[in-house]
Amino acid sequence: MDVTKQINAFPFMVDVDTELTSSLTDLACIKKLKAGEVLAKQFEIGQCIYFLLEGEIGISVPLQETGKSYSVGLINNILSPIGWSAFRHPSRYATTFTATKSSTLLMWPIVELQKILDANLPFANQFLQFVYEESLPVLTNVQNQTRPFFSNESLAFEETRPLINYETQAQALKDAISLLNYAPFCETFTQAEIHTLAKKSSILLAHQGDILCQQDQPADGLYLLIKGKVVVSYQTDSGDIITTRSISRAGTVLAWTTQNTTLKNRTSIISSRDSSILFISQDDLLEVFNENPKISVKYLYRLIWLVGTHLLAARMRYLSQIANDEALAVSNVIEQNAALLPVSSPLYKVNELLKSAITTDEAFGVLYKCLHFGCVLERTIAGMCLDILKDLQRENAFYRHLQNVYDTINSLPKETSVLDARRLGTELFKQAFQQVPYVIKGLENLPKKAGSLFIYNHLLGSATNRLPNGFRFSMDAQFIGSMVIDNEYGVSGQRVIRRSKESEFWRDDFYGRFGNIFINSWEDLATDTPEYDDFIKHSQDTLRQNFPLMISPEGKSFGTHQSPGAFLPHAFELAGSMGSEEPWIVPIVVANFDQRADHNIYTVIIKRAFKLSSRVDYTDKKALNKFLAAYQEEYKGYVNEAVELSREIHQYPIFSGKNGYRSNVMSLNQIDVEFESDVRELEFHLAYQEYKEQPVAFYGSSTMRLWSDFARHFRDKDGINLGFGGATLEACVYYFERIILPHKPRSLVIYAGDNDIGNHCDSNKVVELYIELLQKIDRHLPGIPVTLISIKCSPARIKMRSTIEKTNIQLARLAKTRPNTQYLDLFSTLLDKHGEIKENLFEGDKLHLNHKAYDLWTKQLLETEGFIFNKE
């Protein structure tokens, strides 16, 4: 094969002189592989870069922990580069390459090739541009193979719009230099080169829903996040919209361009809260590159590094999907970076911590700590791992809620009534179930009378929901009681429950708080015994008092695909025993509660209610047994229907909005996704600070978090700053127990609401959320002083001023209706004598207060320090 001819076929050889061509030809070799031969192995030192001339090369990731190897792609485009990850320090191959058919490749040794590139910058630009562009289809291919659990994932907000006529912010050159120095992308640039780039930069301001970059639109510049938060999404060839990650880390590259002005954006970047972005336009970059070709070459090397980082993350997301094991994928990410990662890095703990639901939260703690406070490499790896674990993070939030249910109910005072305990448990379970997707069908079949008999096929519990002490909730029963029965009748169902086995010391104590009816064993429950008579009597009393009664006729639990088991007669004998008061029997069919909460849809179908007397004479034992056997088979059909419904909603989530359905599939709780990083950062800071017992807590959004000189003004008054970035009132309500209650504050100062209004909430919605927050305060911290600070109108939200002022009027009225509550008007301190907003009291982003404004706020707040800080 003529090497010179093959080399000259490459686009980067245009206008290359004879001498350079000769050097490249002398350096090149042809390599032939038979099908099945390995070209290079993962983690081998990258000696060569290859280009495919004919054939096909498979890409695989071997996992040492399992001994398995997973295919993550194919390369079959002629001239495609292979092994270009060796350009990235520490020059190792990221995957294993194997010929899937007879193949021919051109190869260059990387060390010698880089010498040629360093000595010939114009050629280096052409060569690296080609490698970069040809690496993109590999990334696209992996992304197209990756499928979200739902065909189209929801964002934490509804409205999006292109960022047109964007606002800009004045930014000191030193701040731009500081950001670029912090950005991993700029790690290899000299200070002079960073200074050159910084001089060309400007600052863009974006609000929630603003589209910074649109997929398939021309790439117009380099974007780096300064502060705020964005989400990255893309549409696959099949039309699926995949939200790959949320980015809140300063210095992260969001989008980029090159010297090829025909290239388009690969993804869409949408601001999920008010954000500021450092931007260098394509024209300005090209001017820099023309004046300094060395910067251009370094820029392309870093783009190849960036694509490699994205490719690793995409492959690991795909791997976690096909292996159904996120921990394995995370382990491989860390393993791939072990050559550079310090052995003391806490990231090495993550794989072990992910092996149990009990320690999964600790794993996330390690990842978030590295994301916020780690070295450059730790921050990069932690970000990739969190992207891979996005679904597991939702399951972890669900698990935390389950722990909270158990601890809260168990810690209730002994004198707490059964109804109060049941009511609180129901509300806590409702919060928990917002973390996981569910669908309920057949609500129209619920009878009007609450005092009905609700039967259901009881499913096994998932091991991932097992609490540290061994307790495992009956998830299906808890879901039916809270999400179906309580939503319909305003009261959760009474249950009939077997007593604890010897090893289940926790079971009776917990379920006893709800006043449930206990039996020793369904299988041993025999007629004409005192236990059977007690079961009938207590169950009849429950129904006569118009309380819903829940019973699983099987007496034991099964997996979805084995459900239901054989029906025992007791529930049906109960229904028949009530004669003229015979209750409706409501069949509730459940599926998937035996599986992990992530990548799963809890599914419930309510079938038409019936009276037992219309189906069988329960006193005829033979006829009753025949009915039970036939009804079990009928019920199996119902379970299959529920499984099919789950599959349908999985594939077509929009179907969950049909009449008669209730579902959160299209509106899954996004609060954890949006704010977990901010809350973890707050918790890390608090862990290293000392506070007095029963402090005065300042709670709310970044207006609280950024309060200048907070410690100097309020620390000696026992103040503690519990604000977190971007917080909405909804987030403040959601995180109240986690952030506020551990500190048991004696007084609360609250600022929140402008982010909600910025997200297009009206004044009534904001006040509703304030009421919900105040109700939590009354429940957990009754009687403490509460100060509501007026919502400010910043210049960036001037169009929303009327809504803000209307909300403030309503908040002032709300405070007057409550004991020990004051409304503090601090917004007026930001206005001039004409009622106009003083822009000199705000930072350059026109959103956040500066130190002058905080000085005004502090002075006015201290005028009421007797109310806020009084220790009496």
pLDDT of 152 higher than 50: no
Question: Does 548 sit behind a cis peptide bond, omega within 30 degrees of 0 on the bond before it?
Answer: no
pLDDT band, residue 21 (cuts 50/70/90):
very high
Q: Give the H/E segment covering residue 495.
A: strand 494-498
pLDDT of 764 higher than 80: yes
Average pLDDT over residues 748-758: 94
Q: Which residues neighbour 428 within 8 Å (Cβ) at sequence distance 6 or greater? A: 401, 404, 405, 408, 409
Looking at residue 221, what is its pLDDT?
A: 96
Average pLDDT over residues 122-147: 90
Q: Which residues neighbour 546 within 8 Å (Cβ) at sequence distance 6 or greater? A: 449, 450, 451
pLDDT band, residue 511 (cuts 50/70/90):
confident
Q: Which amino acid is at 356?
A: S
pLDDT band, residue 207 (cuts 50/70/90):
confident
CA dihedral sign, ordered 329, 330, 331, 333: positive
Looking at residue 687, what is its pLDDT?
A: 87
Bridge partners, 549 (sequence order): 453, 494
Can you give the C-alpha Rg of the chain in angstroms? 31
What the block records as the tokens of 740 is 């506020």
Give residue-wise pLDDT tens across range 451-483.
999 999 999 989 889 999 888 899 999 999 999
Choose between 285 and 391: higher pLDDT. 285
Give the integer Cα–Cα distance in Å for 607 and 628: 17
Pairing of strands 747-751, 786-789: parallel
Encode burial over 739-770: b for 16+ CB neighbours within 10 A, e otherwise.
Answer: bbeebebbbbbbbbbbbbbbbebebebbbebb
| Residue in 56, 138, 135 with CA at minimum distance from that of residue 97 | 56
Give the integer Cα–Cα distance in Å for 703 and 440: 40
| Residue in 404, 357, 360 with CA at minimum distance from that of residue 386 | 360
What the block records as the tokens of 645 is 């419904």
Choose between 157 and 708: higher pLDDT. 708
> CA end-to-end span of the chain, whole Å?
92
Task: Specify the 3-state DSSP secondary structure of 589.
Answer: strand
Q: Which of 66-80, 558-572, 764-778 has the lowest mean pLDDT?
A: 66-80
- The CATH classification of domain 396-667, taken from the options 3.40.1130, 1.10.10, 3.30.420, 3.90.550: 3.40.1130
Distance of CA 407 to the CA centre of its chain: 25
Give the integer Cα–Cα distance in Å for 255 and 513: 55
Looking at residue 43, what is its pLDDT?
A: 86
Domain covering 3-119, topology: Jelly Rolls (2.60.120)
Percent of the chain with pLDDT over 70: 96
Contact between 426 and 645 under an 8 Å Cβ cutoff? The reply is no
Widest CA span of the chain, in angstroms?
A: 104
CATH 3.40.50.1110 describes domain 689-869: yes
Looking at residue 154, what is its pLDDT?
A: 47
Give the integer Cα–Cα distance in Å for 702 and 727: 7
Give the integer Cα–Cα distance in Å for 415 and 433: 28
Percent of the chain with pLDDT over 90: 68
Give the integer Cα–Cα distance in Å for 95 and 83: 8
DSSP 191: H
Contact between 337 and 374 under an 8 Å Cβ cutoff? The reply is no
Average pLDDT over residues 495-509: 75
Contact between 168 and 202 under an 8 Å Cβ cutoff? The reply is yes
Average pLDDT over residues 360-383: 92
Looking at residue 239, what is its pLDDT?
A: 74
The reply to whether the predicted model has a pTM over 0.75 is yes
Choose between 858 and 499: higher pLDDT. 858
Contact between 297 and 120 under an 8 Å Cβ cutoff? The reply is no
Question: Does 90 sit behind a cis peptide bond, omega within 30 degrees of 0 on the bond before it?
Answer: yes
Q: Which of 10-24, 132-146, 716-730, 761-775 has the lowest mean pLDDT?
A: 132-146
Contact between 86 and 135 under an 8 Å Cβ cutoff? The reply is no
Give residue-wise pLDDT tens across range 534-567.
999 999 999 999 999 999 999 889 999 999 999 9
Choose between 317 and 33: higher pLDDT. 33
3-119 and 148-291, same CATH topology: yes
Concatenate the DSSP letters of all residues of 295-307 into one string: HHHHHHHHHHHHH
Phi/psi-derived region of residue 239, left when phi > 0, alpha when psi is between -120 and 50, beta in every other case: left
Domain coordinates in residue numbering, the chain? 3-119, 148-291, 396-667, 689-869
The CATH superfamily label for domain 148-291 reads Jelly Rolls (2.60.120.10)
| Residue in 651, 542, 648, 572 with CA at minimum distance from that of residue 603 | 648
CA dihedral sign, ordered 14, 15, 19, 20: negative
Average model confidence (pLDDT) for the chain?
90
Q: Which amino acid is at 721?
A: N
| Residue in 417, 816, 435 with CA at minimum distance from that of residue 601 | 435
Which of 494-508, 629-643, 662-676 shows the highest mean pLDDT?
629-643
Contact between 830 and 838 under an 8 Å Cβ cutoff? The reply is yes
Choose between 246 and 385: higher pLDDT. 385
Average pLDDT over residues 18-40: 95
Contact between 70 and 60 under an 8 Å Cβ cutoff? The reply is yes
Looking at residue 478, what is its pLDDT?
A: 95
Looking at residue 151, what is its pLDDT?
A: 46
Average pLDDT over residues 301-312: 92
Q: Which amino acid is at 136?
A: L
Give residue-wise pLDDT tens across range 595-617.
988 778 999 999 999 999 999 99
